Amino acid sequence: MDKPHTDKPARPDWHTYFMEITELVARRSTCLRRHVGAVIVKNKRMLATGYNGAPAGVTHCSETGCLRARLNVPSGERHELCRGIHAEQNAIIQAAFHGVSIQGASLYCTNQPCSICAKMIINAGISAVYYKDGYDDPMSLEMLAEAGVELIRLP
């Protein structure tokens, strides 16, 4: 009897699987500074995805240019001076738009959430955030910890 073919890639664990999907989602980003993807998961099922970019029907920064770059606004500051919406926000909004409860879900994201996204994550009832890359926002870390939202950095 022939042996099964054994040189196929290993089956990814759940964290790897969802994190790799966030990287694919991030490729849809129209931001000129950073491409971020997010996936909301509950019971090993994807409920919503989001990437950073301008709201639906609004001209993308890839076409208009980056106001923050023109004004030399450092990363993590003056979020209101941006046409885009963050990936985490888009994922939460997509779930709400389609009537999908995300209470008790986990959020996978290519980057650690900022403080604005942390507030939305907390109030949406998301219980854990898995992320790949850091983001310099100590307030985000403080609020997530105080609210009991697990924050786990994956390799």
**Dist CA 48 CA 27 (whole Å):** 16
Prediction pTM value: 0.89
CATH code, 99: 3.40.140.10
**Domain annotation covers residue 119:** yes
- Count of domains in the chain? 1
**Domain annotation covers residue 58:** no
**Domain annotation covers residue 149:** yes
**Domain annotation covers residue 131:** yes
- The side-by-side arrangement of strands in the sheet containing 150-153 is 45-51, 37-42, 106-111, 128-133, 150-153
Summarised one tens digit per residue, pLDDT across range 104-127 is: 999 999 999 999 999 999 999 999
**Dist CA 124 CA 42 (whole Å):** 13
15 is in an annotated binding site: no
**Dist CA 29 CA 111 (whole Å):** 13
Summarised one tens digit per residue, pLDDT across range 53-98 is: 999 999 988 888 888 888 888 877 887 888 889 999 999 999 999 9
Q: Which domain holds residue 129?
A: 14-28+36-51+87-153
Show which residues are catalytic: 88
114 is in an annotated binding site: yes
Contact indicator for 85, 58 with CB cutoff of 8 Å: no
